[in-house]
Amino acid sequence: MNMKGKLFLVLILFSSQAFSQDTPAKALMKKMLNACDQVKTAKYTLTSEETEMNGKIEKSEMIIKMQVTPAKIYLYMVNPHAGAECLWKKGEANNRVLVNPNGFPFINLKLGLYNSLLRQDSHHIISELGFDYVASMTKYYMGKMGESFFDYLKITDTLNWDNRVCYELTFDFTPFQYMDYTVKPTETLTTIASLFHINDYVLLKHNPNVKDYEKVKPGQVIKVPNFYNRKIILYVDHNSFLPLVQITYDEKGLLEKYEMKSFQLNPTFLPEEFTSDYGPYGF
């Protein structure tokens, strides 16, 4: 898209903000958060790139069906582990995930959200799919930082992605650093991460003396970042204002990239599409 086209899109988006004090980036963030709150259902192909502990980038592709309230998610793996399926319904089956591994041990499994078999190839758990995770994280830091939050936020481009026009919204947190934190009784890396609205995988990665999410002790000092990560880039769809691409960098480079391709907003699902008895599924 040429510069004239980019300027036109920005003017259209923010014409209603002409007499307000909101910057274009702040106005876009508000529209994005409002759009995230309005999502009821979605279907999309999620492609991901995640940098592992050894520096290798692991890629995956999966098909997602999701309902926001009550939360229900069906996941079909395209690669790796082609044909594997997961079904999760919040609050049901003791909040466990039903898994068809489409291979050994050749039976359906019921696993906890944080089970190591589910987490071994992913930075996130299944309940963090969609927009609630990024929206809640953003709202937390907006509340914590106040107006200074927007000092690090800019619209850095307007681009075409997956046959959509998107705004590239960049949060570049230059004061990013790691702080000392003393573990309290009963805490794990996951509960500490939840407390600060950060990713527990990041805590595991940057605390090499900790070998597992659960293996921290009261009084132990660990490193905790002062923000979710060093830089976050979002591709916000021009029509829906949803962040369909989410890219995170740490101080060493790319940490994770998620792209929601062929995105369908608020499709109608049959009730049985979130059950293991649905005919096309392999449970």
Distance between CA 210 and CA 135 in Å, rounded? 29
Distance between CA 127 and CA 253 in Å, rounded? 26
Distance between CA 59 and CA 64 in Å, rounded? 16
Identify the segments of the chain with pLDDT beneath 50: 3, 15-19
| Predicted pLDDT at 9 | 54
Domains and CATH numbers, the chain: 41-123+267-274 (no CATH), 178-225 (3.10.350.10)
| Predicted pLDDT at 119 | 87
Distance between CA 38 and CA 254 in Å, rounded? 30
For the chain, what percent of residues have pLDDT higher than 90?
87
- Residue 196 belongs to what H/E stretch? helix 189-196
- Give the global pTM: 0.90
Distance between CA 218 and CA 130 in Å, rounded? 34
| Predicted pLDDT at 65 | 98
- Residue 171 belongs to what H/E stretch? strand 164-172
Q: Which residues, 6 or more positions from 161, have their beta carbon under 8 angstroms from its beta carbon?
A: 235, 244, 245
| Predicted pLDDT at 120 | 81
Q: Encode pLDDT of 65-104 as tens digits.
A: 999 999 999 999 999 999 999 999 999 999 999 999 999 9
